[in-house]
Structure 1
Amino acid sequence: MAYTRKDVGKLTREERRRFVNALLTIKRRGEYDDFVRTHIRYFTADGENGLRPAHMAPSFLPWHRKFLLELERALRRVDSSVTVPYWDWTSDRTARSAPWSEDLLGGTGRRSDQQVTTGPFAYAHGNWTLKEGVTDGAFLTRDLGRSHDPIQLPTKSELEWALTDPVYDVAPWDSTVTKGFRNKLEGWGTGRGSASWLNHNRVHRWIGGVMLGAASVNDPVFWLHHAFIDLQWTRWQRRHRGARYLPATPPGPGNAQHGRILARHQKLPPWDVTPDELEDMSRIYRYA
C-alpha cells in the first residue's frame, strides 16, 4: 500500500518528533553522511567534463526522486511510520513559519558565523556534526532570507510559470535552456544575481549556509525542499497527460551533449534504475 507524504505545516507534534528522531538515528549510524557524499559526487556542472546526472540536465527530477526514496527507505527502517514531509515555500514564506520550529529543523543562523543554535540539529547538542563537504566548520549554517542582501522565496505565480510549460525539457538539455518544465523548475535563469535564481535554485539561496553548495544535503531541509520539487513533477504530469521525460533517446556522437546527459531508458548512476521507471510512483507513495 502506498504511503503518504504530508505538508510539513500539517504534521502533528508526534510526527515531527518521529521524523527528527529517524534523521538523528541514521546520522549517528553514519548512513546520513553517505547521502551527502553521493550528492557531492554527482553534482556536475555544465562547465565540467563528464556525465551530469543530478543537476543542469533532464535527469534533475528523476535523480532526486530516487535520492529521496533512498533517504526515505533509510528513515523507514528506523521507524516505519516516517515519511519525508514537503515544504510548500509558496505558502510558508517566512523564517518563523514551518519548517523552522524549535522541535523540527530549528531556525536561522546567528549573525556572527551563521551557525544554527536552535532546534535538534544545533551543533551544541552534539548530534549533527558536519563531516562531508565542510569548508568553514563542523556546524550547520543558515542565513534565512539572506540578511545582508535580502531575497524572497518564489511565489505561486513563479511556480505556475514552470508548471504551465507542456514540454519536459529541450535541447541543448542544460542550464541555458529557456523553455521546458525541468529548467524552469530547477531554476537556472539568464542574467546575474538574484534575477537568475528561479524556483528551486532561489530556495537554496534563500536558506543560505550549507544549502548553497554541493554539500547542501548537510541541512535536513534539503529533503523537505526536494519533496516539494518532486510534488511539482507529479502535478505537472497530471496537468499534461501523456507528456514524458525527454530526451527519449541519447544525443548522438558529435553532439555536444553526447555522453553528458541521460535519456529516458538509460540508468541513473549510482542506481540500477531509469527515468522511465521513475515517472510513476503511485504504487509507492502519494502526496496529501
Structure 2
Amino acid sequence: MAYTRKNVNRLTRSERRRFVSALLEIKRRGEYDEFVHIHITHNSPDGEHHLRTAHMTPSFLPWHRKLLLELERALRRVDASVTVPYWDWTRDRTANSLPWTDDLLGGTGRRSDRQVMTGPFAYRAGHWRLTDRVTDVQYLTRDLGRARSPIQLPTGDEVEFALADPVYDVWPWNSTVTQGFRNKLEGWGKGRGSVSWHNHNRVHHWVGGVMLGAASPNDPVFWLHHAFVDLQWTRWQQRHSGGRYLPAEPPGARDVQHGRVVARDQRLPPWDVTPAELEDMSGIYRYE
C-alpha cells in the first residue's frame, strides 16, 4: 500500500518529532553520511567528459527520486510512520515560516560564520557534525535569503513555466537547453549570478551555506526541497499523459553527448535501476 508524503506545514507536532528523530538516528548510525557521499560522487558538471547522472542532465529527476527514496527507506527502517515531507517554497517563502522552526530544521545561520545555532541540527546540539563535506567546516551553515545580496524564492508562475512544457528534455541534454521541462525545473539559465538561477537552483542559493555545493544533503532541508521538486515531476506526468523521460535511446557514437547521458532504459548509477523504472511511483508513495 502506498504511503503519503505531506506538505511540511501539515505535519502534526508528533510527525515533526518523529521525522527529526529518525534523521538523527540514521545520522548516528552513519547511514546518513552515505547519502551525502553519493551526491558528492555523482555531482559531475557539463565540462567533464564522463557520464553525468545527478545534474545538468535528463537523469536529474529520476536520480534524485531514487536518492530520496533510499533516504526515506532508511528513515522508515527506524520508524515506519515516517515519510519525507515536502517544502512548498512557492508558498512558505520567508526565513520565519516552516520549515525553519526550532522543533524542525532550525533557522538561518548567525552573521559571523553562517553557523546554524537553533534547532536539532545545530552543531552545538551535539548530534549533527558534518563528516563528508567539501570544506573544513564541521557545522551546518545557512544564509536564508542571502542577507548581503537578497534574492527571492521561485514563484508559482515560475514553476508553471516549467510544468507547461510538454517535452521532458531536448538535445544536447545539458544545462544549456532552453526548452524542455527538466532544465526549466532544474533551473540552469543564461547570464551570470542570480539572473541565471531558476526554480530548483535558486532555492539552493536562497538557503545558502552547505546547500550551495555538492555536499548539499548535509542540510536536511535538501530532502524537503527535492520532495517538492519530485512532486513537480509527478504533476508534469499527470498533466502530459504520455510524456516520457528522454532521451529514449543513447546518443550515437558521433554525438557530442555519447556516453555522457543516461537513456530511458539504461542503468542509472550508482543503482541497478533505469529512469523508465522510476517514472511511476504510485505503488510506493503519493503526495497529499
Which TM-score band (shorter chain)?
over 0.9
* Residue 220 (structure 1) aligns with: 220
Which whole-Å CA distance do the structure 2 matches of 1:93 and 1:125 have between them?
Answer: 26
Q: Which residue of 2 aligns with 1:195?
A: 195
Aligned pairs for 1:17-32 (under 5 A) are 17-32=17-32
Code of the residue aligned with 2:58 in structure 1: it is: P
Note the C-alpha offset of 1:134.
4.0
CA distance in 2, matches of 1:213, 1:235: 27
Please state how far the C-alpha of 1:133 moved relative to its aligned partner. 1.4
| Mapping 1:156-167, distance limit 5 Å | 156-167=156-167
Secondary structure of 1:33 counterpart: helix
**Residue segments in structure 2 that go unaligned for 5+ positions in a row:** none
Aligned equivalents of 1:223 and 1:140: distance in 2?
A: 15
Q: Which residue of 1 aligns with 2:140?
A: 140
Which residue number in structure 2 is paired with residue 232 of structure 1?
A: 232
Aligned-pair identity (%)? 76
Alignment match, 1:249: 249
The aligned counterpart of 2:279 is: 279
Deviations 1:173-225 (A, max 9, x none): 00000000000000000011111000000000000000000000000000000
Poorly superposed stretches of 4+, deviation over 6 Å: none
Distance 1:136 1:228 in 2: 30
Q: Distance in 1 between matches of 2:137 and 2:166?
A: 44
Q: Give the paired residue count.
A: 288
Q: What is the Cα deviation at residue 49 of structure 1?
A: 2.1
State TM-score, norm by structure 1.
0.99
Distance 1:53 1:134 in 2: 19
Partner of 1:116: 116
Q: Look up the SS of the partner of 1:88 in the other structure.
A: coil
Give the Å deviation of 1:118: 0.2
SS in 1 for 2:286: strand
Structure 1 stretches lacking a partner, 5+ long: none
AA matched with 2:206: W
Counterpart check, 1:263 vs 2:263: yes
Query: Which residue pairs with 1:34 in the alignment?
Result: 34
Calculate the aligned-residue CA RMSD, in Å. Answer: 0.5
- TM normalised by structure 2 equals 0.99
Give the SS at the match of 1:286. Answer: strand
CA distance in 1 between partners of 2:136 and 2:198 (Å): 27
Structure 2 contact 134–214 (Cα < 8 Å) conserved: no
Give the secondary-structure state (helix, strand or coil) at the position aligned to 1:162: helix
Give the Cα separation in 2 of the matches to 1:77 and 1:91.
Answer: 31
The 2-side partners of 1:61 and 1:162 are apart by 13
Counterpart residue number, 2:52: 52
Query: For residues 227-251 of structure 1, what are the alpha-carbon distances to aligned partners after superposition, in whole Å with 9 as ceiling and x for unaligned?
Result: 0000000000000010100000000
Which residue of 2 is the match for residue 177 of structure 1? 177
